[in-house]
Structure 1
């Protein structure tokens, strides 16, 4: 169980609150060599100021040097002084008076006493993990934006505000710092990020249960987190993302925050950024002489993009949104009319389109790579009468082709070698490389940063060994960090 330390400037700062053995002064905490006998320490920095080179700043800096988890982190402190502007969810704000154009309030661990500010509070606290924030919003046109955001000294709270601070500190402490003891004692704590509303998650429920059992077998506990559980990251030693990643959604924010807090993360934010951008991937693969389908970037401002595509790729062709941020999917165009119609639709959301030649094959390979080693192989066959593995229908349902997991020893060497070479260009995380085999040649279609592991599909050949392999890698990395 992690030890909680509440650090304040002076012991008298804590007088309005119940006595706590967890409270220490910043001078005591900053003594060289103090509190270093236990790495599993959580520090709540409540110093009056976090300005550069103040004792509050050094408190967070020293905590990170000691391997302690601290709120706020040095990264958060620096971000507050440089980057205070970001988009806000507008829901809830529509309940404010139409005449109101300015609003100032305090957030206590992301919470406000005003119900309409709860979602905004969560969003701000995800971005800036600071115990007390003073926030001002201004309305420009139809949208509210942040005009001021700064840490507020808890020592200067009014009596009613002290009550709110105490309530939310207790809730935050109970939720994050003092998780209830498990029936069995585990050495490390793992979190798995899932999205319960996702229709096609990277792992089905049966696979998730097997990941949990695999973690338990090697002395790690694993709990599931949802998109609103960002504040719980401090409980854990590692984060395994099992929700479809995108740089524009909550998965990237979780990965970024977890990495800053010192957790072992799969997949890490850099891998998410690289793998979700198809233009980046294509350019990267081409620069390293790895075979991909003939590819071309179409620019909306180029009046000759259509002629260039017909000349260099021809029809049929495949059009893709470069960053995958929109739910436009990947489309095949067979003739000039469909090319123009689909390109027009995509250009409404993106100034660039990735166009590739169409390579028909009965199935696609996927090779799972972990820590620069292949760990599974699977073939996915095209959906009956369709050119892709999955066929999405207008009613929101989908159909898919069959599949068969393979012994890696029986997979063609050029498939495994090309997959391994491709994934190694991204990093040492967990990747799934999709390839087509045409006349004995391997062509990389995509590199996935959180490849699917479904019970009954990817694990058909290796069974529980697949789950054990992934969880063991987490354990190895956690131990290397000395957590």
Structure 2
């Protein structure tokens, strides 16, 4: 029988919520034999960290290897790890920020916490849902900055153990709403014939190609069936 399973880094992270047999810690999941875990086909990974080689990263990697449907998947984790990867994907959304956030901000920056595509700020619900569709991660912390116009300055995975009491209540409600939906595969990503990596240095004062030119490279490549990815020297250090 197919089950929903929630993975936490430490079982104490689930202490603010009702106990459930569906909640296990990361070590238990990683150490279980794939044959024993075959029914755990739908996984929500709530580990504290999703950094490369962390327990959270391994949980999503093992889940995909076992054929389980996991949130977040490795593609989302990797996309969130480098701004050079997600900046292009958000270019269309970023152009709508001034309309949704207004052009007379009371502060120059703020962080929006999104739980399963939901936010307690009703006016930003559409934006929260769009971001969740781009990056299907249980908790997203999205930082917005204003300098003549609004930009998304950072997106990272949030941690369940960092939620305040009011956020815990909202998270539980969002999780309940999400887990009652039918899990379905997202729209299939386009498959490309070739992969191409462009090495660039975002900190270079006079780069041979600026970000506008790089975005054109990416767009042109994808039209030709080439998956173009921006990388930096630190990706290989």
Structure-2-length-normalised TM-score? 0.71
d(CA) in 2 for partners of 1:70, 1:137: 28
Tell me the SS of whatever aligns to 2:181.
helix
Structure 2 residue 127 is matched with structure 1 residue 120 = yes
d(CA) in 2 for partners of 1:99, 1:32: 50
Choose 1 or 2 for highest CA Rg.
Answer: 1
Tell me the SS of whatever aligns to 1:118.
helix
Q: 1:235 aligns with which of 152, 171, 184?
A: 184
Cα offsets for 1:206-250 (capped at 9, x unmatched)? xxxxxxxxxxxxxxxxxxxxxxxxxxxx335xxxxxxxxxxxxxx
Structure 2 vs 1, CA of residues 162 and 35 (structure 1 numbering), >3 Å: closer, same or farther? farther
Structure 2 residue 112 is matched with structure 1 residue 163 = no
Structure 2 vs 1, CA of residues 98 and 25 (structure 1 numbering), >3 Å: closer, same or farther? closer
Long gaps (5+) in structure 2: 194-224, 226-237
d(CA) in 2 for partners of 1:21, 1:119: 33
Long gaps (5+) in structure 1: 177-233, 237-252, 257-268, 274-425, 427-483
Cα offsets for 1:127-179 (capped at 9, x unmatched)? 111111111111232x4211011111111111011011001010111114xxx
Q: 2:86 aligns with which of 81, 84, 87?
A: 84
The structure showing larger relative contact order (alpha-carbon pairs under 8 Å, at least 6 residues apart) is: 2
Instruction: Specify the alignment match of 2:235 in structure 1.
Output: none
Q: 2:151 aligns with which of 145, 152, 170?
A: 145
d(CA) in 1 for partners of 2:9, 2:81: 21
Structure-1-length-normalised TM-score? 0.36
d(CA) in 2 for partners of 1:152, 1:12: 17
d(CA) in 1 for partners of 2:169, 2:37: 34
d(CA) in 2 for partners of 1:97, 1:171: 34
1:65-214 map, 5 Å: 65-82=65-82, 83-85=85-87, 86-87=90-91, 88=93, 89-90=96-97, 91-94=99-102, 97-141=104-148, 143-176=149-182
Q: 1:270 aligns with which of 181, 191, 212?
A: 191
d(CA) in 2 for partners of 1:64, 1:120: 28
Tell me the SS of whatever aligns to 1:76.
helix
Aligned-pair distance for 1:115?
A: 1.3
Tell me the SS of whatever aligns to 1:235.
coil
Q: Residue 107 of structure 1 contacts residue 121 of structure 1 at CA under 8 Å; is this kept in 2?
A: yes
Structure 2 vs 1, CA of residues 174 and 32 (structure 1 numbering), >3 Å: closer, same or farther? closer
Tell me the SS of whatever aligns to 2:191.
helix
Aligned-pair distance for 1:2?
A: 2.8
d(CA) in 1 for partners of 2:68, 2:81: 23
Give the structure with the higher percent helix.
2
Give the structure with the higher percent strand.
1
Q: Residue 3 of structure 1 contacts residue 41 of structure 1 at CA under 8 Å; is this kept in 2?
A: yes
Structure 2 vs 1, CA of residues 97 and 18 (structure 1 numbering), >3 Å: closer, same or farther? farther
d(CA) in 2 for partners of 1:15, 1:35: 29
Aligned-pair distance for 1:35?
A: 5.7
Q: Residue 36 of structure 1 contacts residue 66 of structure 1 at CA under 8 Å; is this kept in 2?
A: no
**Could you say what the CA RMSD is over the residues aligned between the two structures, in angstroms?**
2.3
Cα offsets for 1:407-455 (capped at 9, x unmatched)? xxxxxxxxxxxxxxxxxxx9xxxxxxxxxxxxxxxxxxxxxxxxxxxxx
Structure 2 vs 1, CA of residues 255 and 54 (structure 1 numbering), >3 Å: closer, same or farther? same
1:383-398 map, 5 Å: none
